Amino acid sequence: MKILLMGHPNVGKSVFFNRLTAANIIESNYPGTTVDYTKGYMRLEGKDIEIIDVPGTFSLEPKDKAEEVAVRMLHESKGSKVMCVIDASKVERGLYLALEIIEQGFSVVIALNMWDVAIDKNIDIDAKKLEQILGIPVVPTVGISGEGIFALVSRLKDATPVKVEDIVERTEGIKHKANTPDERWALIEGISKKIVTFGEYQHTLKDAIGDFTVKPATGIPFAIAVLYGFWSIFGSFAGFFTDGFLVKIFDEHWLPWLQAVFPGGLGNWFYALIVDVGHLENGVLAASDNCFESFGALSSGLFVPVGVVLPAIFIFYLMLALLEDIGYMPRLAVLIDTVLHKIGLHGYAIVPSVLALGCNVPAVGATRILETKKQRFMMMTLLAVFIPCGAQIGIMQDVIPGSIGFVMLYLMAGYFIFGYILNKVIPGRIPEILMDVPPYQKPMSRNISRKVWMRTSGFLKVAVPLVIFGSLLVNVLYLAGTIDWLGNILAPMFEGWFGVPRETAGPLVAAFLRKDLAVAQLSAIEMTKYQMISAVVLVSIYFPCIATFAMMLREGGKTFLGSLAVLLVVVFTWGGLLHLLWKLMGVA
Amino acid sequence: MTKRSGLEKNNDLYFIYFLILGLATLAFGITDLIVTITGSEYSIGVLNIPNDGFRGGWGGLIILFAGIFYLSGLKDLYEIHQLAKVVMGSILIWIIAGTDIFAMITESIPGGEDGGWFNTAQGFLGTYAPPYAPAIFLLPFSLVVIFCIHKYYKKI
């Protein structure tokens, strides 16, 4: 037996999936967390039952790529049972999708989820009566606390296909079909009258604050404060671990230990690859005294992901998980909707944009919540070019602490300017969206810790091998003279157009593997403050890292070539423009 | 008969309290911004106004917004939307003060570049010594809003 978990976006399907399969997938308090299906197994009466967490869809007429996946999954799973998760506080809306699924001949069991929210809103639903009318099991649940989940599973066996005509007969007393949207809504109205009673509901403080956080006059100051808090804690936390302890561990203990025990010594090519390439002091090769400059696979290769990036990524994901689960992200989406419409996107583009500040890879996947090809192409391109990942920001905080704000502002300006241009140039439609803003809720520590663990461990699995490999590769290229050769060939462009030293070629090669490693390598090149800012911007807007590259290829297909073309234009114009700015200021 | 909110009883008292707090918060926010724009360090007794772009500039702007929230919400505080504005004003102060305190904590524990692993007792305590930023002074006064929320839900 196979069970499909279906329902509107943000009704708690992923919570159900995690509870039923004891799996770990990301759950968040905003729509579009699941943009692809996830498979898992549940043990029931001695048998393994396949459960599929299907992306949220409002109906079986798909409007975006995630909804297309949902409908395709349903059509490919004839004979499966469907667990239809409905938000009990908006039962009518959920019933529409349930009726469509029933009409397709599936055995359906309904979970009236967020039962607690319905009670809070003084909405009384007669679940037993709804079960009688629909002829399928209906179970009230609170997914987040697990209430009703066992009852729901135990009722799976009672789910059998029913005919919509029978439901119409039990509701209206006359047997007829309900195939059109109008007929379905009329039927739902009839069912609703029989099962739902709305009591008096007074606005709570939570509701009032919820309203104010989406109104521009009050919401924008609040959003500024939230983002201020986010970055302030990010800086303090990352600084505490990196500057307070990890720099000492790596520079005063790990590097000297490696230098002492590793065979070969300075000048030996293998020693240079693994421990320390050294640097010239008065024409003599001297040992490095810090892991930023040693460039060995086991020194810089470990220091960058573990010593600098890990604390930054951890606190970023912790803060993001809190904002997601509290329910602030959809409000930010509503607030920024008008601004993003000017560049052809809409409010929910904030989800991939913010995710990209952690890691560009899941952010590219999250572009599926955007409706049109044009929007997905634009979003993928903009985030790959203009949004530095958390790892890179972590390193930037160490390398250019005083100029990080300027770099971020310059990139943000590029995001909007090139977004505006792309919107004008690329054909395609920009649909309006209706946003469903969920209520504020208390974040669950279990969900937060699981999300932070999954995202952070996912980062480590990808970053550590790539940074070590990147260090090795760049060192090999240095030793083979390739970087010098590249630097000489590209010197006119680097020095003349971008205003950065020719040695920047090395970090740019590394940037293709890991941008954080590339920024770390920039710190070892002698240059002015302004050249350093230009070089960091160049690393940011230059090719996306290999993992993002692969994800863009998978998600964008042929349009990926278009993204690359945009990227080349951006590197030359936006990178060159910064040099021009320095020249006008007389600092270049 | 519909029960009234507990806040209605001493409405005038709350009005005066949040008027004074709102004006003080607004003044701190404006001073913060002026100090940041002029770029000069400003310290008087136990008060220090930050002049860097992040804490002084953005932080000052947020304090200014907090003052505006207080002043716009103080009339008819027993009405939920008015109370919500005052609560939001306090939340803004909690964010600024909370991040200031968090920064102090993270600075106080490590021994520093040339020191040992951990700070000395003197160094640790020294981090918490005055002068403080305006948000730290506003913090205890902003907590009164918790009492107001309690009063609001206590029907009379």
pLDDT digits (tens, 9 = 90+) for A423-464: 999 988 777 766 677 788 888 888 888 888 888 888 788 778
Q: Which residues contact B82 (CB under 8 A, 6 or more apart)?
A: B73, B74, B75, B76
- Band (pLDDT 50/70/90 cuts) for residue A73 is confident
Q: Is the pLDDT of residue B134 over 90?
A: yes
In the listed set A168, A198, A228, which residue is the last one of a domain according to the structure? A198
- Provide the token pair at A166: 């029978």
Q: What three-state secondary structure class fits A5?
A: strand
Q: Are strands A138-140 and A123-125 parallel, antiparallel or unpaired?
A: unpaired
Residue B114 lies in a domain: yes
CB B55 within 8 A of CB B108: no
Range of the domain at A476: 216-585
Same domain, A286 and A187: no
Collect all residues of chain B within an 8 Å Cβ-Cβ radius of residue A405: 53-54
φ and ψ of A541, to 5 deg? -90, -5
**Residue A27: which pLDDT band, with cuts at 50, 70 and 90?**
low
A152: in domain? yes
Query: Mean pLDDT over residues A324-338, rounded?
Result: 87
Do A227 and A95 belong together in one domain? no
Task: Say if the Cβ atoms of B92 and A221 lie within 8 Å.
Answer: yes
Residue A31 is predicted with a pLDDT of 54
* Boundary of a domain, candidates A198, A228, A256: A198
Flag whether B1 is in a domain.
no
Asked if residue A273 and residue A135 are part of one domain, the reply reads: no
Question: pLDDT tier at B1 (50, 70, 90 boundaries)?
Answer: very low
Domain identity same for A430 and A546: yes
CB A540 within 8 A of CB A408: no
Percent of chain A with pLDDT over 90: 36
Look at residue A384 and tell me if it is in a domain.
yes
A301-317 confidence digits (pLDDT tens): 888 888 888 888 899 88
Query: What is the reported pLDDT for A192?
Result: 93
Cα distance from B50 to chain A (closest Cα, Å)? 14
Taking contacts as CB-CB distances below 8 angstroms, the residues of chain A near B96 are 225, 228-229
* Residue A413 resides in a domain: yes
Is residue A188 located within the same domain as residue A290? no
Residues of B in contact with A245 (CB under 8 A): 110, 117
A564 occurs within a structural domain: yes
Tokens read off for B11 = 């409405």
The answer as to whether A208 is a domain residue is: no
User: Does A205 reside within a domain?
Assistant: no
User: Looking at the structure, do residues A414 and A524 belong to the same domain, yes or no?
Assistant: yes
Domain range for B66: 6-153
Query: Tokens at residue A66, please?
Result: 């995630």
State the pLDDT confidence band at A134, using cuts at 50, 70 and 90: very high
- The answer, yes or no, to whether residue A525 has pLDDT greater than 90, is no
Would you state the pLDDT for residue A33? 58
Q: How many domains does one find in chain B?
A: 1
Which residue among A212, A233, A239 places its CB closest to the CB of B88? A212
Whether residue A342 sits in one domain with residue A285: yes
Q: Is A148 left (phi over 0), alpha (psi -120 to 50) or beta?
A: left
Range of lowest pLDDT (A11-25, A91-105, A380-394, B71-85): A11-25
ipTM for the predicted complex: 0.95
Q: Is the predicted pLDDT of residue A43 greater than 90, yes or no?
A: no
- The answer to whether position A211 is within a domain reads no
CATH number at residue A145: 3.40.50.300
- Sign of the CA dihedral with A330 first, then A335, A338, and A339 last: negative
Is A203 part of any domain? no
- Do residues A433 and A562 both lie within one domain? yes
Cα(A423)–Cα(A374) distance, integer angstroms = 8
A568 CB within 8 Å of a chain B CB? no
Number of domains comprising chain A: 2
As a whole number, the mean pLDDT across chain B is 91
The confidence score (pLDDT) of residue B136 equals 96
Would residue B65 count as lying in a domain?
A: yes
Note whether A169 and A248 are same-domain residues.
no
> Which residues, 6+ apart, have CB-to-CB distance to A279 below 8 Å?
A285, A286, A288, A293, A524
- Pair (A298, A152) in one structural domain: no
Residue A344 token pair = 């052809």
Q: Which of A295-299, A308-312, B58-62 shows the highest mean pLDDT?
A: B58-62
Please tell me if residue A232 touches chain B, with a CB cutoff of 8 Å.
yes
Is A342 in the same domain as A231? yes
pLDDT of residue A383: 93
- Condensed to tens digits (0 to 9), the pLDDT of residues A479-491 reads 888 878 888 888 8
Q: Same domain, yes or no, for A165 and A285?
A: no
Residues of B contacting chain A (CB within 8 angstroms) = 53-54, 58-59, 61-62, 65, 68-69, 80-81, 83-85, 87-88, 91-92, 95-96, 98-99, 102-103, 106-107, 109-110, 113, 117, 149, 152
The verdict on residue B66 lying in a domain is: yes
- For residue A201, the chain B residues in CB contact (below 8 A) are none
Residue A25 pLDDT = 57
pLDDT band at A112 (very low <50, low <70, confident <90, very high): very high
